[in-house]
Amino acid sequence: MNKKRHPEIVLNSQDLKQELRRRTRRDFLIAGLAAAGAVGGYEWLTHAKEDNGQPWPERRVLDANGRLWRAYVNNRHLMPSYSTDQIQYLKVNGDVGLGQDFDPGAWKLRVQTGVPGEQFDLHLFDIQSLPRYQMITRFCCIEGWSVITQWAGARFSDFTKKYFPAARPLPQYVYMATPDEEYYVGLDLKSALHPQTLLAYEQNGKPLEAAHGAPLRLVIPVKYGIKNIKRIGMIQYTDTRPGDYWYEEGYDWFAGL
Amino acid sequence: MPKLKLKHLLAIRWFHWINFPLLALMIWSGFLIYWAYPVYSIGPVRFPQGLFRALHMNQRLADGMAMHFFFMWLFVINGVLYIVYTIVSGEWRLLVPTSFGALRDAWQVVLHDLHIRRERPPQQKYNAAQQISYTAILVMGIGSVLTGLAIYKPAQLNWLAAWFGGYPGARLIHFALTIGYCVFFVVHVIQVIVAGWNNFRSMIIGYELVDEHE
């Protein structure tokens, strides 16, 4: 053993006892102070003022993590795709914003481009006239389960190319809400323009079911399920970070995978 | 003649005692997250829902995630500094088993600890069982960070998730490693209690009282 790093203290037995007692007292005092500091720090953290359901220091770190990963999001970083025989059953796990008072026949998609007053309505055939993409990807719920599902629809990037004014620079964010605005999500535009982000109208080769968000839902495999909003009634481009249903309940705003 | 011998370096002691609450918080917040989808079992053994309720761990997924992704930074920083320190200081030589003989020696240590075998095999600062445990726990820590990253960002780091058999595989390994820490903790604490006060004190003050005739 290295003697330099592992020195020895050799004294007569009386002084040795004293030296041991002195060191024990000193270091246990330091240890006690450190432990008290740790407990105090934890108490301070967990009781800090809340910011959207979490103590503000944790919220800040969540947001910082989000910015970090957002910078890393890349159109080449894809969720793996699977084959048809790997498709699994996707349960219905949320019905906020899917009230009974809804007429699919009268549905329209309201689009707001970020300039006050500049808005228009689209029909499902407008979305269906965009190039159709089909993919079999993993749908990851923030609860921890995940399911392989097939989706088909229009890429949000194609949608944006067609419907966002080409002359203007792209904004930072996009906000989507159900027709009753009970459920709403905020997305960074970078993730929304990812090639796997679809405005989906088909699931497993069939038209989307009502409980899964008919007539049009968002499928964004680079985000947790909570961002995959069903029954989209409104899409709004914006430069300020939009609100988000689950963010306000204490979850991460970015919620990216 | 009795003397005080420095057993645990100051830095190692700090790394150890900082790691302890951080790992505890990672496990705690991890179980808050696991509550939302607690599906793993070994035969009939499953993390009981009653325990979640008794410890007020139910309905706290968002809290668990916020805490997990806060303390992960401190946990990783402390772990990386520990690895760098053991390498730079050369302490790794004492910690890492250097031959397959360590496996045989470790078995002898276990037999000795269980009072089946009288003599301990010769050792340096750490016996072979300790070397294997303390190296394994480090490898487990690296495994937890990597599987954690794979679950955290399965799209951005899809290549990493693929190492562990994809997203569900990474989640299972991440969970199994956590159970591993809990087992390690129990065995570790029992060993510390058995080893006695002089040994425990040395993890605080660094020095151990030895009375050897060399």
Q: pLDDT by residue (tens digit) across A63-94?
A: 999 999 999 999 999 999 999 999 999 999 98
Nearest Cβ partner for A77 among B34, B63, B156: B156
Respond yes or no on whether ipTM tops 0.90.
Answer: yes
| A81 reaches B (C-beta below 8 A) | no
Report chain A's mean pLDDT, rounded to a whole number: 94
- Contacts B206 to A, Cβ<8 Å: 23, 27
Chain centroid to CA A252: 6
Instruction: Specify the pLDDT at position B127.
Output: 78
How far apart are the C-alpha atoms of A252 and B65, rounded to whole Å? Answer: 8
Nearest Cβ partner for A13 among B2, B69, B89: B2
- Contacts B167 to A, Cβ<8 Å: 138, 140, 146
| A79 reaches B (C-beta below 8 A) | yes
Residue A12 pLDDT > 90: no
Q: Which of A94-98, A116-120, A223-227, B205-209 has the highest mean pLDDT?
A: A223-227
Structural domains in chain B, CATH included, are 3-210 (1.20.950.20)
Nearest Cβ partner for B37 among A20, A28, A143: A143
- Lowest mean pLDDT, pick from A1-5, B115-119, B162-166, B209-213: A1-5
**Which DSSP letter does residue B88 get?**
H
Report chain B's mean pLDDT, rounded to a whole number: 89
pLDDT per residue over B48-61, tens digit each? 778 888 888 889 99
pLDDT band for B117, please (50, 70, 90 cuts): confident
Judged by CB atoms closer than 8 Å, whether chains meet at B155 and A144 is answered as no
Of all residues in chain A, the percent with pLDDT exceeding 70 is: 98
| A3 reaches B (C-beta below 8 A) | no
The full set of domain ranges for chain A reads: 1-47, 50-238
Taking a contact as any Cβ pair under 8 Å apart, which residues of chain A between 98 and 127 contact chain B?
none
Q: Which residue has 């320190």 as its token pair?
A: B85
Judged by CB atoms closer than 8 Å, whether chains meet at A8 and B4 is answered as yes
Chain centroid to CA B175: 14
Instruction: Specify the pLDDT at position B213.
Output: 57
Nearest-CA distance B115 → chain A (Å): 28
Q: Report the Cα–Cα distance between both ends of chain B, in Å, rounded.
A: 9
Instruction: Specify the pLDDT at position A193.
Output: 97
Q: Is B84 helix (H, G, I), strand (E, B) or coil?
A: helix
- Contacts A19 to B, Cβ<8 Å: 4
What fold does the segment set A50-238 form as a domain?
Sulfite Oxidase; Chain A, domain 2 (3.90.420)
Q: Among all residues of chain B, which has the CA nearest to that of A251?
A: B62
pLDDT band for A217, please (50, 70, 90 cuts): very high
Mean pLDDT of B156-170: 95
Residue A237's region, left for phi above 0, alpha for psi from -120 to 50, else beta, is: beta
A82 burial class (0-12, 13-18, 19+ CB within 10 angstroms)? middle
Q: Is B205 helix (H, G, I), strand (E, B) or coil?
A: helix
Instruction: Specify the pLDDT at position A2.
Output: 56
- Contacts A5 to B, Cβ<8 Å: 6, 9, 89, 91
Q: Is A113 helix (H, G, I), strand (E, B) or coil?
A: coil
pLDDT per residue over A115-149, tens digit each? 988 999 999 999 999 999 999 999 999 999 999 99
Report whether the peptide linkage leading into residue B97 is cis, meaning its omega lies within 30 degrees of zero: no
Are the C-beta atoms of residues B125 and B7 closer than 8 Å to each other? yes
Q: Which two tokens stand for residue B53?
A: 């309720």
pLDDT band for A3, please (50, 70, 90 cuts): low
Q: Which of A81, A191, A193, A173 is nearest to A134 (CA)?
A: A81
Q: Where are the alpha helices (DSSP H) in B90-196?
A: 92-95, 101-113, 128-152, 158-163, 166-195
Residue A29 pLDDT > 60: yes
Residue B32 pLDDT > 80: yes
